[in-house]
Amino acid sequence: MRMSFRWFGSGFDPIPLKHIRQIPGVEGVVTTLYDMKPGEQWPVERIRAVKAEVAAAGLRISGIESVNIHDSIKAGLPERDKHIETYIETIKRLGEAGIDLVCYNFMPVFDWTRSDLAKVRPDGATVFAYDQAEIDKIDPTKMFDKMKAGAGGFALPGWEPERLAKIGELFRVYRDVDEEALFANLKYFLQAVMPTCEKYNLKLAIHPDDPAWPVFGLPRIATSKERLLRIVGLVDSPYSGVTLCTGSLGSNPENDIPDTIRSLKGKIHFAHVRNVKHRGPGVFEESAHLSVDGSLDMFAIMLALHDIGFTGPIRPDHGRDIWGEKGMPGYGLYDRALGIAYLNGLSEAIAKMKKSG
Ligand code: DNO
């Protein structure tokens, strides 16, 4: 496994690369061109520039998270072919720059959703939290304002303000899109992009929906082991796989994460490992990575990743906001660095235990 750290790029991310370089065991960053909107062509010079900047800090680009997918592709609109062409060209440019992993999601309208970005826990840390009853009270067209209000002046990933302008129209566009249509549209997209992924040796890894159930009446399909297996079976290519996000899948207590990992052997291209604390049906909050602080067994998760021989990039995910850090909510340095130290510890112990039989 190659330990990495999500970094949103200079000018967007307050964490300097030199600090990331000092987290033990981190070899790379997972980054993006944060100001690129879905449907925009990524410029070659900017791809080269970020690659050089990361290399100069003694790190590598472990993958791109994300190249976001235009809603016309997800909704299956006539203009999707034009946007798929653009996506293919971006993949080609990334592949030519030596980047071999792109994470994406196929959630209509909204990316990850939370009802609270700063729930205070007993130790004073603040975390992302979700309560379905709270979400049910929110007018979805106001959701962007709500996320922005809690973001402390930062643009949150997946909640870039440009998408807000079109929110009403987006809901209309998805009115006739059900889960089966979403599967079909994903298949259409994957069939179109896979030949380029294969040619340029670039893996595409779908991110699970977060939370792992439909929100605001919009369909969601990347929500369980069965559905992820269906997704990786849509096209016959080793380049189409999954970002195994323990927190997103783990939002639903019925998802058995170690079992999901074992079932997806060979299809996991990227791992996001974090913990969640279940509070009741449709209610959870994000906890520290440590097993006892949440509801997921992180040892069992890391063991499953070792058992399937996972060697791809892995990163801690959302961290708690602690120690007075003024960072992007969920993406501060301190708690994610603690998460890495813990995951490294589990990993070293598992590897040595396995070696000694
Ligand atoms: C949130 C992230 C998501 C994720 C995308 C992948 O913090 O987990 O925004 O990066 O869904 O496309």
245 carries an active-site annotation = yes
| CA of 38 relative to ligand 1 center, distance in Å | 14
Looking up residue 44, the CATH number of its domain turns out to be 3.20.20.150
Structural domain that includes position 302:
2-356
pLDDT tens readout for residues 318-357: 999 999 999 999 999 999 999 999 999 999 999 999 999 8
Please identify, by atom number, the ligand 1 atom nearest to the C-alpha of residue 318: 7
The pLDDT, as a whole number, for residue 121 is 97
Annotated catalytic residue, options 245, 289, 293, 335? 245
Residue of 318, 321, 335, 342 marked catalytic: 318
Out of 13, 30, 65, 272, mutate this one to test ligand 1's pocket (max ligand atoms within 8 Å of CB): namely 65
Q: Which atom of ligand 1 is nearest to the CA of 6?
A: 10
Catalytic site includes residue 307: no
Answer yes or no: 272 catalytic. yes
**How far, in Å, CA of 342 to CA of 145, rounded?**
35
Classify residue 156 as exposed, middle or buried by CB count within 10 Å of its CB (0-12, 13-18, 19+). buried
Is 331 assigned a catalytic role?
Answer: yes
Query: Mean pLDDT score of the chain, rounded to an integer?
Result: 95
Q: How many domains does the chain have?
A: 1
Angle at 277 between CA 32 and CA 2, to 5 degrees: 40
Catalytic residue among 70, 71, 104, 207: 207
**Token pair recorded at residue 305:** 């990743």
pTM for the full predicted model: 0.97
3-class DSSP state of 210: coil
With the most atoms of ligand 1 within 8 angstroms of its CB, the residue from 210, 328, 336 to mutate is 210
The burial class, CB within 10 Å (0-12 / 13-18 / 19+), for 133 is: exposed
Q: Which of 105, 109, 117, 320 to mutate to test the pocket of ligand 1 (most atoms within 8 A of CB)?
A: 105
Q: How many angstroms is it from 245 CA to the middle of ligand 1?
A: 9
Kindly give the confidence (pLDDT) of every residue in the chain, 357 residues in length, as a single tens digit, with 9 standing for 90 and above.
999 999 999 999 999 999 999 999 999 999 999 999 999 999 999 999 999 999 999 999 999 999 999 999 999 999 999 999 999 999 999 999 999 999 999 999 889 999 999 999 999 999 999 999 999 998 888 888 888 888 888 888 888 776 667 788 888 899 999 999 999 999 999 999 999 999 999 999 999 999 999 999 999 999 999 999 999 999 999 999 999 999 999 999 999 999 999 999 999 999 999 999 999 999 999 999 999 999 999 999 999 999 999 999 999 999 999 999 999 999 999 999 999 999 999 999 999 999 998
DSSP 177-198: --HHHHHHHHHHHHHHHHHHHH
User: Which amino acid residue places its CA nearest to atom 3 of ligand 1?
Assistant: 112
Measured in degrees and rounded to the nearest 5, phi and psi for residue 219 equal -70, 150
CA of 352 from ligand 1 middle (Å) equals 32
> Catalytic one among 272, 289, 293, 342?
272
| Residue 116: active-site member | no
Give the 3-state secondary structure of residue 128: strand
